[in-house]
Amino acid sequence: MAKQNKSEAETDKEQILNQTEEGFITLPVNDGEFKNFIKSLLGNPQSISKGMFGIFEINYDELRNINYLILQRITQQNDGSLAKFSARIFFSDNSSVEFNEIDELLTYNEVRPISSVSVHMSWDFIVTFPDKKIPEKQKILISFVSSGRFLPEFDRDSVILLHKPEYERGFINFRIEHTARTWGADIESLLTNHINSILQKDSKIKSFIRRYSGKISFGVATSFFLSSLIYGFVSANSFASDRIEEVTNRINMFKNGSLEALNNKVDYLTNFVAGGAWSRYYFALVVFVILSMVISIFLAAWVEGSADTQEPSFVLLTKESKKHKDRVLKKLNKKWLSFFAAIITAIITGIISNYLFSNFFSNIA
């Protein structure tokens, strides 16, 4: 009976060997080790996510640098190998192109006249850590998006959706799915430092103007309107003093106390009042103040619209996107020129309006 069992076992072993020769694979691990290996590949690792907003330009050279940086760190510090790479470029017409090899991405040439607005890259690594015998899966994802207006879907389970749709500036997100905390922290530091080198520093003057654009526009409008009010008040006092002095001088011409002198004084005062110089002057002053208010509102809107701009970011992966960059920067420069033109216009308009008001009413009465 034992002999029969032995022959059955030998038969099973021969069948397994025959199956292996026909294409089946056998692993030199026990059941526990095999379960741990599968769990390390299919389990739920921890993750580190980070979003960074700013000004940047991404082209194929920068994508190549990022890929080389990540591969170099993995191969130098860990016994790891790249299991999978994927990338996707999104365009301004809501279309996209997906790649499964880095060389396909770096040599891609889009023939359509469309701009690239975002690019997403992911790497799957099999890494064996020094304190573990079984290799484990690690994943790195990076997203470059040129503007908060664009939020394309690229594998919702992978892409970080940390964003601000109302935010015009570009943003860079990355996520690290890891099974070793120190490894994940090291990759986070690597990517953070590299992204900081990509982000461009904004001009301090432009940043100040943009941040306080509302206050600056309010200050320009208020200054213009208050200067008009102050000048109107000073002009009214001057007008009143001149008229009083003129009336006093004319009345003093009739020094004698005769009835004829008295009649002359009465006639002069009657004619002066009937002439309506004071009424015309104050009516014009009210019109001047109202026009100043309208102009101040217009100047405030002009300054606010010219100053409230965001420096753009670009994903330059097509010829059209490079042309789009030139158009956007040209338009942005015009807005900055418009801002300074608004400030100068406010100053010149205030001077001219006060000058015209003064000279127009200098000969009244």
Domain termination residue (choose one: 182, 201, 220): 201
Q: What is the pLDDT of residue 5?
A: 47
Q: What is the pLDDT of residue 234?
A: 74
Q: Would 169 be classed as within a structural domain? A: yes
Q: Would 154 be classed as within a structural domain? A: yes
Low-confidence stretches of the chain (pLDDT beneath 70) = 1-44, 148-168, 239-278, 358-365
Domain count, the chain: 2
Give the whole-angstrom CA distance, residue 340 versus residue 338.
Answer: 6
Q: What is the pLDDT of residue 217?
A: 84
| 173 and 135 in a common domain | yes
Q: Which amino acid is present at 204?
A: K
| 192 and 80 in a common domain | yes
| 345 and 219 in a common domain | yes
| 214 and 188 in a common domain | no
Q: Would 317 be classed as within a structural domain? A: yes
Supply the Cα-derived Rg of the chain in whole angstroms: 40
Domain termination residue (choose one: 201, 223, 242): 201
| 185 and 39 in a common domain | yes
Q: Would 68 be classed as within a structural domain? A: yes
Give the whole-angstrom CA distance, residue 141 versus residue 85.
Answer: 10
Q: What is the pLDDT of residue 351?
A: 79
Tens digits of residue pLDDT in 87-122: 999 998 888 899 999 999 999 999 899 999 999 999
Question: Considering the entire predicted model, what is its pTM?
Answer: 0.67
Q: What is the pLDDT of residue 227?
A: 81
What are the counts of helices (DSSP H) followed by strands (DSSP E) for the chain?
10, 8
| 104 and 222 in a common domain | no
User: Rounded to whole angstroms, what are the CA distances from 167 to 52, 54, 147?
Assistant: 12, 10, 7
Q: What is the pLDDT of residue 273?
A: 58
Q: Label the pairing between strands 79-91 and 46-54.
A: unpaired
Domain span at residue 279 reads: 208-360
| 101 and 133 in a common domain | yes
| 344 and 214 in a common domain | yes
Q: What is the pLDDT of residue 288?
A: 79
Q: Label the pairing between strands 136-145 and 46-54.
A: unpaired
| 214 and 192 in a common domain | no
Angle at 49 between CA 135 and CA 125, to 5 degrees: 25
Nearest to 74 by CA among 137, 11, 168, 158: 137
Nearest to 308 by CA among 335, 341, 340, 331: 335
Tens digits of residue pLDDT in 242-263: 666 666 666 666 565 555 555 5
| 355 and 218 in a common domain | yes
Q: Would 10 be classed as within a structural domain? A: no
Q: Would 108 be classed as within a structural domain? A: yes
Domain termination residue (choose one: 201, 221, 246): 201
Q: Would 7 be classed as within a structural domain? A: no
CA torsion 215-165-168-110 (nearest 10°) is -170
Nearest to 353 by CA among 225, 216, 237: 225
Give the whole-angstrom CA distance, residue 354 versus residue 361.
Answer: 11
Q: Would 365 be classed as within a structural domain? A: no
| 238 and 123 in a common domain | no
The 10 Å CB-count burial string (b at 16+, else e) for 27-44 is: eeeeeeeeebbeebeeee
